[in-house]
């Protein structure tokens, strides 16, 4: 591997050179951006170790240059300024499309740097960017307008997709989240993110939600044998503002009475818009016999007082903390703090967006009980949940049989 190191200060050079060469890599050093550009022009190295503070210049100028020139050169940031700056620099680079292989605090040079000199691991398939739901055409490319959305809702085009929520203790599916999908006239399926904002802006969110929940109730005979602990649905701010919570939820709670408990997910960005709204909604939700989850927790404005005051049952830790937990030290710290907070408040906690086994294992060892994400199952038809439950029961009974044999032996 050919490693280029840019730092205005030669103090670290000899240490780094020794460290890198001992691993069998080729090492080149430069002290200015100009010299760095010349070296890259002569031959693009495999990795750039980039100091963030370069006297009059800054490592961020190098990032701008790499992005402008579209040079595919992975970067490891070095900094003596601490984690905060490394974290921010990484976000800037990511936004510009520059690959950041890692962050190394100069104080922890050897322990942080050496693992990064190995070739990057090949990500498992689940960690690749999410695929869209298959359909005859790419539904995300279709421009939806209010009239088309209203027509689709009226035509029965709103469909539930079910995503499993599993116990991290034994991997068994213990709940599902219902996510809305829109079947377009050409048969393709549109994801929630592509039509919910329009539904909210036009007021069509109310008929959309009613249509969705009707479809879920109609599936109760298939839901019952799954013996799920809970079924979660999303409610938007509009429903809270219009005081529609009871109207929307009552039929669902009644319809699924002997199936599973209903959980209502309200996004945290909604929560503090008007505290009274949440207060009223939270009370109504509990009175109906449903439970309340704060969705996307950590991204919005729910004050800690809200958590203590309102009858909140569950925190769904936002996907951004999980996807960044191994990339940003700050994200990891905040994640662990959220878990500690939730535990102290006695709340059920679900991590969203778990895509890799490494994420799952760390969350479990940090004390988290539940998780959701592509690692366990993508949103899809109820049949996929049925298969998952059947497989989980089969492995549990095999385990029990093994236990009995074990005892008898």
- Binding positions for ligand C2E, rule: CB under 6 A: 130, 163, 179-180, 191-193, 196, 205, 209, 212, 234-236, 265, 267, 295-296, 319, 353-355, 372-374, 379
Q: Which is nearer to ligand C2E, 49 or 293 (CB)?
A: 293
Taking the complex as a whole, the smallest distance from the CB of residue 287 to ligand C2E amounts, in Å, to 21
Select the binding partner of residue 204 from Ca ion, ligand C2E, none (C-beta < 5 to 8 A, by kind). none
90/263 with CB nearer ligand C2E: 263
Min separation Cβ 68 and Ca ion, Å = 35
DSSP 380: B
Which CB, 106 or 237, lies closer to Ca ion? Answer: 237
Q: If contact means CB under 5 to 8 A according to the sort of partner, which of Ca ion, ligand C2E, none does residue 355 touch?
A: ligand C2E
The tally of CA atoms less than 13 A away on the side-chain side of residue 326 is 14
As a dihedral over the C-alpha atoms of residue 188, residue 191, residue 192, residue 195, rounded to 10 degrees, the angle is -60
- With CB under 5 A as the contact rule, which of the stretches 165-173, 260-268, 280-288, 373-381 interacts with Ca ion? 260-268
Q: Coil, strand or helix: which one is 53? A: strand
Partner interacting with residue 212 (select from Ca ion, ligand C2E, none; CB below 5-8 Å by kind): ligand C2E
Nearest-angstrom CA–CA distance, 104 and 83: 9
- Give min distance, CB of 373 to Ca ion, in A: 11
Does position 265 bind Ca ion by CB under 5 A? yes
> In which residue are the tokens 């003596």 written?
80
Element (H, E) at 27: strand 26-30
373 Rama class: left (phi>0) / alpha (psi -120 to 50) / beta: left
Count of residues that bind Ca ion according to CB under 5 A: 5
Residue nearer to ligand C2E on the CB measure, 80 or 207: 207
Asked if residues 282 and 310 have their Cβ atoms less than 8 Å apart, the reply is yes
Could you say whether residue 28 binds Ca ion (CB under 5 A)? Answer: no
353 binds, options Ca ion, ligand C2E, none, Cβ within 5 to 8 A by partner type: ligand C2E
Q: Which of 163, 188, 191, 234 binds Ca ion (CB under 5 A)?
A: 234
> Considering the complex, what minimum distance in angstroms separates the CB of residue 96 from Ca ion?
27
Q: Does 268 bind Ca ion (CB under 5 A)?
A: no
* Token pair of 158 as six digits: 């709103």
What value, to the nearest 5°, has the Cα angle with vertex 205 and ends 269 and 214?
115
Task: Report whether 380 contacts 162 (CB < 8 A).
Answer: yes
* CB-CB contact of 106 with 16 (8 Å): no
Query: Which phi-psi region, left, alpha or beta, contains residue 355 (left: φ > 0; alpha: ψ -120 to 50)?
Result: alpha
Of residues 234 and 313, the one with the C-beta less far from Ca ion:
234
Q: Which does 236 bind (CB under 5 to 8 A by kind): Ca ion, ligand C2E, none?
A: ligand C2E
Taking CB under 5 A as the rule, which mask of x and - marks residues 279-318 in contact with Ca ion?
Answer: ----------------xx----------------------
Cα separation, 54 vs 31, in Å, equals 8
| DSSP conformation class of 314 | E
Query: Kind and range of the H or E element at 233?
Result: strand 230-235
Among Ca ion, ligand C2E, none, partner that 363 touches (CB below 5 to 8 angstroms by kind): none
Contact 352, 373 (CB under 8 A): yes
Cβ at position 262, least distance to Ca ion in Å: 13
Sites of contact with Ca ion (CB under 5 A): 234, 265, 295-296, 352
């Amino acid at each position: 591997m050919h490693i280029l190191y840019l730092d205005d200060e030669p103090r670290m050079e000899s240490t780094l050179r020794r460290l890198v060469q001992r691993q069998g890599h080729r090492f080149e050093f430069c002290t200015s951006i100009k010299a760095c550009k010349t070296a890259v022009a002569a031959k693009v190295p495999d990795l750039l170790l980039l100091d963030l503070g370069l006297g009059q210049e800054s490592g961020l100028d190098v990032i701008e240059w790499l992005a402008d020139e579209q040079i595919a050169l992975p970067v490891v940031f070095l900094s003596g300024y601490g984690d905060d700056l490394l974290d921010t620099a990484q976000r800037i680079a990511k936004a510009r499309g520059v690959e950041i292989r890692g962050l190394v605090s100069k104080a922890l040079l050897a322990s942080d740097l050496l693992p990064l000199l190995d070739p990057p691991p090949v990500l498992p398939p689940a960690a690749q960017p999410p695929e869209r739901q298959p359909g005859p055409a790419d539904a995300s490319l279709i421009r939806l307008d209010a009239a088309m959305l209203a027509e689709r809702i009226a035509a029965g085009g709103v469909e539930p997709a079910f995503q499993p929520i599993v116990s991290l203790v034994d991997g068994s599916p213990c709940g599902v989240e219902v996510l809305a999908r829109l079947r377009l006239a050409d048969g393709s399926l549109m994801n929630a993110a592509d039509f919910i904002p329009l539904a909210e802006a036009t007021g069509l969110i109310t008929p959309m939600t009613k249509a969705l929940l009707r479809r879920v109730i109609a599936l109760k005979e298939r839901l019952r044998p799954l013996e799920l602990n809970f079924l979660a649905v999303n409610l938007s701010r509009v429903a809270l503002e219009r005081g529609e919570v009871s109207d929307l939820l009552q039929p669902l709670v009644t319809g699924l009475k002997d199936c599973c408990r209903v959980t209502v997910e309200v996004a945290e960005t909604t929560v503090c818009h008007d505290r009274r709204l949440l207060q009223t909604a939270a009370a109504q939700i509990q009175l109906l016999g449903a439970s309340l989850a704060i969705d996307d927790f950590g991204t919005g404005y729910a004050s800690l007082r809200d958590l203590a005051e309102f009858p909140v049952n569950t925190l769904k830790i936002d996907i951004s903390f999980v996807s960044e937990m191994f990339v940003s030290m700050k994200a990891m710290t905040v994640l662990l703090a959220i878990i500690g907070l939730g535990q102290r408040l006695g709340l059920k906690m679900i991590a969203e967006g778990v895509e890799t086994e490494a994420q799952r294992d760390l969350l479990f060892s940090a004390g988290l009980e539940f998780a959701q994400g592509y690692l366990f199952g993508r949103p899809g038809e109820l049949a996929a949940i049925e298969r998952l439950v059947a497989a989980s029961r089969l492995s549990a009974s095999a385990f029990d049989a093994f236990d009995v044999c074990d005892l008898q032996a």
